[in-house]
């Protein structure tokens, strides 16, 4: 069984959808750990509740970025990580980690990439931008992580209608529902392609 490590910076609702999929048998994998750059977040509570090991680590704790990278890599190796799933992780993944886990890091983004991707486009900022541009359609994208923000190959997208009455929060909630539906399914499919290679 493949080992997934999830990275999260916030409430971890996508992390929860992955936990639920593993528990109900629709995702055939083991969640080996959760990595966060912040303490005291809901995602860590979710991990603790389900007996999932955690590591809180941030580059700001280290005098040298290389030491931070080595620590991160060491933990991923200790957990025998096969796939990394980013679930609302708000730090850039170090280039050395992307190289070590080439084509084995997935991210979910709350827009229809390539629209509204890149630096600064995360969380509610994305939904505000979608509404300001008067888009009629939005959604979420799951992509393979590359060294450029939100530029890796797109694996799957789900769409939602943008309503004239939408607030950014209302749009965010509907997009999030789609994220929870598709992320575990895409991870399962992607793990199967890794098994074949």
Residue ranges of alpha helices (H) inside the chain are: 13-23, 42-49, 65-78, 95-100, 124-132, 168-196
144 three-class SS: strand
Sign of torsion, CA 110 111 113 115?
negative
Contacts of 185 by beta carbon, 8 Å cutoff, 6+ apart: 21, 26, 156
> What average pLDDT is seen over the chain?
94
Summarize pLDDT for 103-134 with one digit per residue, the tens: 999 999 999 999 999 888 888 999 999 999 99
pTM of the predicted model, to two decimals? 0.95
**Can you give the pLDDT at residue 124?**
92
Predicted confidence (pLDDT) per residue in 136-188, tens digit: 999 999 999 998 877 899 999 999 999 999 999 999 999 999 999 999 999 99
Q: Residue 47 is encoded by which pair of tokens?
A: 């991990």
Angle between the N-to-C axes of helices 13-23 and 168-196, in degrees from 0 to 180, rounded to the nearest 10:
40
H or E element: which one contains 86? strand 83-86
pLDDT above 70 (res 197): no
* Residues paired with 56 in a beta bridge: 36
Query: Is 30 part of the annotated catalytic residue set?
Result: no
Q: Which of 28, 30, 109, 180 is catalytic?
A: 109
């Amino acid at each position: 069984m493949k080992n997934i490590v999830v990275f999260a910076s916030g409430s971890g609702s996508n992390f929860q959808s992955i936990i639920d999929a593993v528990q109900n048998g629709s995702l055939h994998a083991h969640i080996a750990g959760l990595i966060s750059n912040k303490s005291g977040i809901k995602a860590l509570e979710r991990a603790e509740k389900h007996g999932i090991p955690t590591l809180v680590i941030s580059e700001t704790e280290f005098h040298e970025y290389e030491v931070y990278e080595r620590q991160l890599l060491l933990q991923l190796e200790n957990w025998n990580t096969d796939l990394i799933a980013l679930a609302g992780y708000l730090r850039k993944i170090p280039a050395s980690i992307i190289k070590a886990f080439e084509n084995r890091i997935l991210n979910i983004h709350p827009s229809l990439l390539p629209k509204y991707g890149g630096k600064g486009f995360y969380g509610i900022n994305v939904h505000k931008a979608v509404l300001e541009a008067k888009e009629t359609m939005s959604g979420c994208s799951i992509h393979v992580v590359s060294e450029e923000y939100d530029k890796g190959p797109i694996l799957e997208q789900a769409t939602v209608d943008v309503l004239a009455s939408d607030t950014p929060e209302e749009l965010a909630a509907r997009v999030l529902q789609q994220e929870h539906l598709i992320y575990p399914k895409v991870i399962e499919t992607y793990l199967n392609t890794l098994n074949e290679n």
